[in-house]
Amino acid sequence: MSWTEKNNQLSKTFEFEDFTEAFAFMTRVAFLAEKAEHHPDWSNVYNKVEIKLTTHDADNTVTEKDRKLAKEIDAIKA
Amino acid sequence: MSWTEKNNQLSKTFEFEDFTEAFAFMTRVAFLAEKAEHHPDWSNVYNKVEIKLTTHDADNTVTEKDRKLAKEIDAIKA
Amino acid sequence: MSWTEKNNQLSKTFEFEDFTEAFAFMTRVAFLAEKAEHHPDWSNVYNKVEIKLTTHDADNTVTEKDRKLAKEIDAIKA
Amino acid sequence: MSWTEKNNQLSKTFEFEDFTEAFAFMTRVAFLAEKAEHHPDWSNVYNKVEIKLTTHDADNTVTEKDRKLAKEIDAIKA
């Protein structure tokens, strides 16, 4: 499944076996985000993680920074 | 600051110095949630963490389970 | 690979692609340990995680608690 | 308490209230390490975290990289 681009953001929902698997994934995304100094707007309920990416410094539009982070996040889950 | 009860959920927003401090807090909340087998609906953007608590098994109303987890979360941040 | 029982402890070394994958695994082990209230003696260097299990309350011998946690840890990595 | 320099490494032991507080600290150290691409040799038992820093690329001697990371780790705990 690919990311959806709408309202100037990329979004995607990831689903896991349970909460701890979801949170371990979030931990890996957190490392990527912190390294890129580009942080997601994200939420979690039990085994679901919804990630939204936009670039605040570019008037909240989708930029190359978002596409790069999206690709790196997909690589974790793969 | 206390939790807000509205629309059958308890909610509260926590603010931190930066993303890594926010995520470390989330890790501690995650331990509490997993131990209680009661998981929040929560979101994060950079240094802010918004937590919403409701009990799905009780027709999505606020129960003692939510109040207990809310208290435990407050104890972390204190 | 199975766990080694020696000197009254179960031990096993896990290897990952990189540090963030290793740390995400540690996060999942941490959830299991906290839930069981049975915590490992463990160490990490980059992509390697060495876990040692023993039961302090049982004069530091290997007990059923250790075998159960070992099995749960293996289930994550599988 | 300061770091001990011995056998070509900086080491320090941190103590916390319990396991979850210790692991939350480890999560923050992990972010620093990953960002600096300089990873510790560290271990944990319940509420104690022992961190050892050395620079593998410099024949396992203590370098400026280790001193910088040590300072950043101290800043978390402060």
- Please write the tens of the pLDDT for every residue from D53-77: 999 888 999 999 999 999 999 999 8
Which residues, in sequence order, are CB contacts of A27 under 8 Å at separation 6+? B23, B27, C20, C23, C24, C27, D27
Do the Cβ atoms of D34 and A30 come within 8 Å? no
Per-residue confidence (pLDDT) for residue B78, from 0 to 100: 72
The stretches of D1-78 forming alpha helices (DSSP H) are 19-36, 64-77
| Chain B residues within 8 angstroms (CB to CB) of chain D | 20-21, 23-25, 27-28, 31-32
Q: Structure pTM? A: 0.95
Distance from CA of B1 to the nearest CA of A (A): 22
Q: Which tokens in the block code for residue A40?
A: 């997601």
Which residues, in sequence order, are CB contacts of A38 under 8 Å at separation 6+? A53, A55, A65, A66, A69
C-alpha dist (Å) from residue C54 to C66, C67, C70: 6, 9, 10
pLDDT tens per residue, range B16-73: 999 999 999 999 999 999 999 999 999 999 999 999 999 988 899 999 999 999 999 9
Do the Cβ atoms of B34 and C35 come within 8 Å? yes
Distance from CA of C24 to the nearest CA of D (A): 10
Its sign, for the CA torsion D58, D60, D64, D69, is positive
Nearest residue on chain A to C22, alpha-carbon basis: A28
Cβ–Cβ < 8 Å for B37, B74:
no
Cα A10 from Cα A26, distance rounded (Å) = 17
Per-residue confidence (pLDDT) for residue C77, from 0 to 100: 80
Do the Cβ atoms of A31 and D30 come within 8 Å? yes
**Contact residues on chain A for D34, CB-CB shorter than 8 A:** 31, 34-35
Per-residue confidence (pLDDT) for residue B54, from 0 to 100: 96
List the chains bordering chain A where 3 or more Cβ pairs fall under 8 Å: B, C, D
Nearest residue on chain C to A25, alpha-carbon basis: C24
pLDDT tens per residue, range A15-47: 999 999 999 999 999 999 999 999 999 999 999
Q: Would the pLDDT of C78 be above 80?
A: no
